[in-house]
Amino acid sequence: MAYQAYSLKEVANKPERLAAGHRMCAGCGSTVAVRAVLRALKPEDRAVITLATSCLEVSSMTYPYTSWEDSYIHTAFENAAATASGAVAAYRAKKKKGQLDETYKFITFGGDGGTYDIGFQSLSGAMERGTDMVYVCYDNEAYMNTGIQRSSSTPLYADTTTSAVGAESSGKAQYKKDLTQIMAAHRIPYVAQSTFLGNFKDLHHKAETAIYTEGPAFLNVMAPCPRGWRYDESRLMEICKAAVETCVWPLFEVVDGEWVLNYEPKQKLPVTEYLKLQGRFKHLFQPGMEPLLERIQDDVDHRWEELKGRCEGQL
């Protein structure tokens, strides 16, 4: 699918909808994701933001102050999508009665803990009901807000405080849940996976498409965490690029059931090029750990071939 042409300078110069002064860590991917997604809104459109309890929530709001320029609702961990559903219903009722003239878009943000795990029930329900909203998961692959505990998004063999590496453990023993594919199985109009690369063209295209698609849309954005992933804050973009070039985090979208591969590396890099950038995988480079690296590579290769098959209409 060809991306729509747009002016990077024009998009970058749009007024910020997430104000400066929040308390997120330097090198954090979540605020980069939020700012990029919100820049896809047309200047004349207003937004209602619902946000699950998370690092992003506790760092962007201290009652009665908030960094969000649009209408903002802090929800519990488990019900961000349900809250958005209620807000959409209220908006439609007021529109029908002629009590509102403005156009509002409804966007929910949640980390992987509040999306893959605790909030999955309300997310699935909102998508199945056809709620006209966008759910954006900023995926940092663990419960970073409460101490870097593993989630179902945490990758195989990652070191977390609840899947700690030691004499009896090599990190998380389970594979990462493929939530993007699960959301595609809901047969909603738009599902996409993205992250931060170069000029943000992929993420901007997908955020804009999701926001202006009628009906439910889901956007999964890899958003690394410097504390949980253990990288120098300056290497955020390098890690995201490595994730794409190794096919650990492929860029694709599902439009009305059609699977579209947005990027295929000219030369697919070995997964070690991604893993070696992060301290949470440091133990995998010790002598004797080669079989674990091979298992990760085999899984990435299998999922990559499966994705290409779907996008080529072979599955």
Asked, for residue 266, whether it belongs to a domain, the answer is yes
Asked, for residue 2, whether it belongs to a domain, the answer is no
Do 53 and 77 form a contact (C-beta atoms < 8 A)?
A: yes
What is the Cα 209 distance to its own chain's centre?
15
End-to-end CA separation in angstroms for the chain: 19
What is the Cα 159 distance to its own chain's centre?
21
Residue reference for tokens 């956007």: 219
Asked, for residue 90, whether it belongs to a domain, the answer is yes
Asked, for residue 279, whether it belongs to a domain, the answer is yes
CATH number of the domain at 222, please. Answer: 3.40.50.970
Do 283 and 165 form a contact (C-beta atoms < 8 A)?
A: yes
Q: How far apart are CA 27 and CA 225, in angstroms?
A: 7
Name the residue range of residue 151's domain.
8-311
Asked, for residue 294, whether it belongs to a domain, the answer is yes
Closest CA to 127 of 209, 183, 52, 50: 183
Asked, for residue 1, whether it belongs to a domain, the answer is no
pLDDT 10s per residue in the chain (315 long)? 556 667 777 887 788 898 888 888 889 999 999 999 999 999 999 999 999 999 888 888 888 888 999 999 999 999 999 999 999 999 999 999 999 988 999 999 999 999 999 999 999 999 999 999 999 999 999 999 999 999 999 999 999 999 999 999 999 999 999 999 999 999 999 999 999 987 799 999 999 999 999 999 999 999 999 999 999 999 999 999 999 999 999 999 999 999 999 999 999 999 999 999 999 999 999 999 999 999 999 999 999 999 999 999 876
**Segments of the chain assigned E as strands:** 46-51, 61-62, 65-66, 71-74, 104-111, 134-139, 165-166, 169-170, 190-194, 217-222, 252-255, 258-261
- Which H helix or E strand runs over 32? helix 29-38
Give the Cα-Cα-Cα angle 192, 193, 194 (nearest 5 degrees): 125
Q: 3-state DSSP call for residue 179?
A: helix
Asked, for residue 3, whether it belongs to a domain, the answer is no
How many structural domains is the chain composed of?
Answer: 1
Residue reference for tokens 């997120």: 24
- Determine how β-strand 165-166 pairs with β-strand 134-139: unpaired
Asked, for residue 99, whether it belongs to a domain, the answer is yes
